[in-house]
Structure 1
Amino acid sequence: MASRSMGLASLRRRHWLKHLKKSEAFRKVILGSLGIFSFLLVWQFLSMAGVFRLPTPLTVLTETWDLIIAPFYQGSGTDVGLGWQILTSLRRVAIGFSLAAMIGVGLGMLIGSSRALYDAVDPILQVLRPVPPLAWLPIALAALRDNEPAAIFVIFITAIWPIIINTIVGVQQIPKDYKNVARVLRLSRKDYFLNILVPATVPYVFTGLRIGIGLSWLAIVAAEMLIGGVGIGFFIWDAWNSSLISEIIVAVIYVGIVGLVLDRSVAFVGRLLSHGEEVHS
């Protein structure tokens, strides 16, 4: 009787493990963990062998342990923990990106709805879109005469182009049948906007927003290296000037994690508003 119970328990355990292995989440966790472990192992080996003149992962962890466990340390001036540095950068990104989202979506819908306006504005968009974010910083400093609004302007001008362009594409991709139905039903401009234009362009808009938030986070880190003060970009530059390579590595990891969270958050909201429809790349 006891052996039969043990056999049933073993069978259930094997069935559970088999089911778990088929799980996509389980597979991602296991493979992701293996990937990270392999990366750290290669890094450790190359650093110990002298191929890379970088501290090993264990050295980085040892040298930055106090920094990691006290992210909201509050000192004087710019001497604050990584948590405050990241929050300061996120605040700048939130302001600049929000302005870019509101203005960019509105302009994109307006331009995409008018062929004549699109033809007039498209050359300007194509010329300004490839300009690197940091190229705008001297112009912003000259115009605004202050580091803080200049950094926010760099975020705004960096994020707005993909938002405008993707919104324009979304408006222009609305099927003609939708427009014909709107004419037959004699929908008002308000009803056309709310019931046809907005639902049809949501996936495109959120593609632009995802690109914009990624570029915003990239731009603020670079801009803060030049404007100084509190912020994750300045923290990295200040650590470089002090030859604190381990702190730079930890900060870069934090930057990557925050960037991933921002991207996935925008994508999640986009899927909710588009009823699960994938955004367009």
Structure 2
Amino acid sequence: MVFWEGYVSDESMGTFAPLVVYWLYAGFYQLLPPLDKYRLHTKTEENDRNLVPLRSVVKGVLLQQFVQAVVAELLFLVTSNGSSSELTVQPSLPIQALQFITAMLVMDTWQYFVHRYMHQNKFLYRHIHSQHHRLVVPYAIGALYNHPLEGLLLDTFGGAISFLVSGMTARTAVFFFCFAVIKTVDDHCGLWLPGNIFQMFFQNNTAYHDIHHQLQGTKFNYSQPFFSIWDKLLGTYVPYTLVKRAEGGFEARLKKD
């Protein structure tokens, strides 16, 4: 039993809940005070180093989410075979947990190899992936700021493949996609906050991804959004350390041998 049962189908929730959650969670970060003592970059750096204005970032995210919604609707239409979500039997909680973990691993695998190839192929980087790296200093709302083709290949297709391979139901997918969105937003928030569960329990976190956005780290830390497994297996992992800045906040630096 979920709160939307009887009002909205699981398929509709799976399509639109992640979009709403994105703006609620990213908006929460956007509305926070400066919190200078927790920032990985100063506000001045964010304003000076980023190569695209907030208005363009918002438009880019909305475009990606439109495409994402269309693909999700088609995916649920095909996989539901015309049956009502109310008639779908939910598997046991241990099975759902296994599906959740499977989907996380599948998404990580897909995104690692697509993401890495977009860096290694000069044409793809110059014309597609470089759009995301216009945000040299990441912030929450820019988590899904990508070229439309990258958004389709990396995030939308990655989510669809994770859903299909894991075998989860549309209801389980609501929770998985919302969790993935929250994690992705958090990885781009640019803040190292005390008590942040994502930063406490995931090595692949805000500082990990911040390293990748910096010039010295663009060939490392490709893994996203959950684990660092593929980086470590394939030699693209680079360790870092958090250093307190004298003027407040932190800086994620590559560790020197």
TM-score (norm 2): 0.32
Normalization by structure 1: what TM-score? 0.30
**Structure possessing the higher relative contact order (Cα contacts under 8 Å, 6 or more residues apart):** 2
> Which protein is bigger by CA-based radius of gyration?
1
Higher helix share: 1
